[in-house]
Chain A
Amino acid sequence: MTVTVSLTGRRRRAHVGRSLRIAGGITASLLFLFPVFWMILTSFKQQRDIFTTPPTFLFTPTLETYITYLQRGIIPYQMLNTVIVAFGAGIISIVAGSMAGYALSRLKIRGATFIGVLILMSRGVPPIALAVPMFLVGRSLGLIDKHIILILAYCTFLIPYVMWLMRGFFMALPKELEESAMIDGCSHFGAFFKIIVPISLPGLLSTLIFCVILAWEELLFAIVLTSRNASTIPVAIAGIAGDTVNGANWGALTAVGTLTVIPVVIFAMLVQKWLIQGLADGAVKG
């Protein structure tokens, strides 16, 4: 009888602990998601509803701002530019960064750790210090206001990021996997692409998500290196927010902001399926 009581007490404590953890998680999620929710809500408001005091949750929704900005033509075009640049930079960085990370983690390179730290330190350089030289180089190569200059610019800070993250991931994989592949008939490259890359897919995909998000929201290089043809969504948002003639159009700002978030969310949801599958494969266990 005593045992039953004690077990029940322990179970109740575990239940309370679990409930508290769930409540904490929900509170934190609400705290982070509320600004996004408010942005989406505001994007459907008319200008007069945006500034009511106190703020209202009940209003007549309108698509007016969306229609206005989507019809202007520049926003969809900038959205396309952002997709090209963010995914272009993300994919190039994943390919180059993961190969560099693999080399630093596995190959016998003299001073590999020093090289890795040096590349990581390049992340410490303020982007503004690179923007002007990059502009000058881009101009002399005739690349200003082209997608490729933004892609290359983003690669400068994404590749070290990928390299460092993936280096840690590769170091956690058993070395015997590549050794076995090489005995089975693979070259070093073959072992990397046929064995290591498929196993590392969860890591590669989550790193890709972060890369795409970082490139998606980047503003400084986009402002300096583009003007119209390759300009991206953050530039459009900055333009709306910094409209010194008409003042900030909060309806437009939130509508374009909502449109900006949607593709990233869809991409993350699509990739999440692969992430979970990859993790479920027990990839890092021999």
Chain B
Amino acid sequence: MGSVRIDNARKSYGTLEVLHGVSIDIPDGEFVALVGPSGCGKSTLLRMIAGLEDITDGTITISDRVINDVPSKDRDIAMVFQNYALYPHMTVRANMAFALRQRKFPKAEIDRRVADAARILGLNHLLERKPRALSGGQRQRVAMGRAIVRDPNVFLFDEPLSNLDAKLRVQMRSELKELHQRLATTTVYVTHDQIEAMTLADRVVVMNGGRVEQAGKPLDLYDKPQSLFVAAFIGSPQMNFFAGQVHSPDRLTLDGGVELALPRSQQPLTGQVTLGVRPEHLILSESGWQATVSVVEPTGSETQITARIQGELVRVVIAGRTNAGPGDSIMLSVEARHLHVFDTASGKRL
């Protein structure tokens, strides 16, 4: 196993710079998820770690060895691709054994490793099948099996669950997490699905426009987003935002005229701000903001309500059920400790 250190990595295509000096330290055994919208540079960064893209500037180190100019095959990494990239002319067994055969492992050792991986992933009965005879989930497992037989320093996953249906994705997510707990191999996992990132990773790195927007433990990102971008990206349904003006250090007036008490801040708050409130932190109460219900979506364990406050859409998630229906008037309130305040101009947390 090994650590990964990305130090001021840059990537340019001609004059177009797509990664602007990214630095991430990944200790041995950690599961890190790179998450962000399409085009944020997460897959490019992963491919740079894999050696599939040149590093324009900066260094990438795996297990204390700078690997900028080391070919992919000598980096001791294994990668699972979004489309699995299984070799269609080989059986599952041959697919899993391929990397070991390339490295001239003894046959007995190859057989043992393939058998171990097949047992872990429940692939024993599929070993003689070709990829075309497998379901999406089985192909996904074979792709993981092909990675784990290598016992590499680092696992790289490039949106491996994106091609699966919703139910299978949830199942494979659990299996992946269990696998990491079992093998404890350093893992870099790219996804655009923040739920996947939150549930799987020890640490989540949110990327935006070729830069690291924020890195931290999943719940830290959720509880204390350092920017409007992270606040909007992490969490589903998305955080509600309200524009407002700070008039006194602890009072905020929203554009709709509603006044709110602000949480205590290290720095004095002034000027134009954006207030963020998670949907589950808005509570139905006797007083507060008056809202008109637009849509009620019960999911059984909770209910999502879409409502309007003076024309602004807000999403509310309440535990259990409600009798409120479209057109009904409700009152919403929020505790001051659950308010997130951002500087509107810079987008930074205040």
Contact = CB atoms under 8 A, between A and B. Distances in A.
- Decide whether A and B assemble into one complex: yes
B132 A281 contact: yes
B79 A180 contact: yes
Interface string A238-278: 00000000000000000000000000000000000000000
Contacts of B132: 281-282, 285
A174 B86 CA distance: 10
B11 to A, nearest CB: 14
A177 B99 CA distance: 13
Contact of B131 (A176, A181, A185, A286): A286
Contacts of A74: none
B85 A286 contact: yes
B77 to A, nearest CB: 6
B85 A198 contact: no
B73 A281 contact: no
A286 B72 contact: no
B337 interface: no
A199 B81 contact: no
A186 interface: yes
Nearest to A197: B89
B4 to A, nearest CB: 15
B88 A286 contact: yes
B89 A174 contact: no
A236 B130 CA distance: 49
Nearest to A282: B132
Contact of A199 (B77, B88, B99): B88
Contacts of A181: 87, 98
A109 interface: no
Interface string A109-149: 00000000000000000000000000000000000000000
B83 A183 contact: no
A179 B81 contact: yes
B241 interface: no
A286 B88 CA distance: 6
A283 B90 CA distance: 10
A286 B98 CA distance: 16
Contacts of A174: 83, 85
B78 interface: yes
A170 B72 CA distance: 22
Nearest to A184: B99
Nearest to B158: A176
Interface string B226-269: 00000000000000000000000000000000000000000000
29 contacts: A174-B85, A176-B81, A179-B52, A179-B72, A179-B81, A180-B85, A180-B87, A181-B98, A182-B73, A183-B50, A183-B78, A184-B98, A184-B99, A185-B73, A185-B102, A185-B103, A186-B102, A187-B73, A198-B89, A199-B88, A199-B89, A281-B89, A281-B132, A282-B88, A285-B88, A286-B81, A286-B84, A286-B85, A286-B88
The 3 closest A-B pairs by CB, nearest first: A185-B102, A282-B132, A184-B99
